[in-house]
Amino acid sequence: MTDVTQEFFHSLARRGHDRRLTAIDEGSVRFDIARDGRVDHWLVTIAKGDVTVTEQATGGDAVVRADRAVFDRIASGRAYFLTTVLRGEAAVEGSPRLFATVRRLFPPPPASGTARSRGGDDG
């Protein structure tokens, strides 16, 4: 069975550089993902588009907290990051600029007809 969340973070680490993130001179986002009474921590650091990922429980200019089931849906593209935050299914704190940028790390929103037909990138 594939671990969607773990594969998501490993794929970010393999990505290395993401041109969509070059506006971030330097910043980091810690993801606290809860499951079965424990929390996994992933620190994603971005510097001029270069992305590194470590398993680290401290740090982060912004922090995202979510239950593992919710994060699995986000990481697999079945749920949209921003929507889960607005619904209170995930919480964010820290740098609003990083929050606005970090959503680009995730798959695009699920097809809803309107966003796809416009060709817009709401993610």
Compute the distance between CA of residue 73 and CA of residue 79 in angstroms, rounded to an integer.
Answer: 5
Q: How many domains does the chain have?
A: 1
Dihedral sign from CA coordinates of 93, 51, 104, 54: negative
Q: Judge whether 123 lies within some domain.
A: no
Kind plus residue range of the DSSP H or E element containing 6? helix 4-15
pLDDT digits (tens, 9 = 90+) for 67-123: 999 999 999 999 999 899 999 999 999 988 888 877 888 888 777 654 433 344 444
Span of 9-18, 19-28, 90-99, 109-118 with lowest mean pLDDT: 109-118
Q: Judge whether 40 lies within some domain.
A: yes
Q: Judge whether 116 lies within some domain.
A: no
Residue 95 belongs to what domain range?
A: 4-107
pLDDT digits (tens, 9 = 90+) for 40-74: 999 999 999 899 999 999 999 999 999 999 999 99
Predicted model pTM: 0.83
- 25 vs 33, more confident: 33
Q: Judge whether 70 lies within some domain.
A: yes
Q: Judge whether 114 lies within some domain.
A: no
Q: Judge whether 122 lies within some domain.
A: no
Q: Judge whether 112 lies within some domain.
A: no
CATH classification of the domain holding 21: 3.30.1050.10
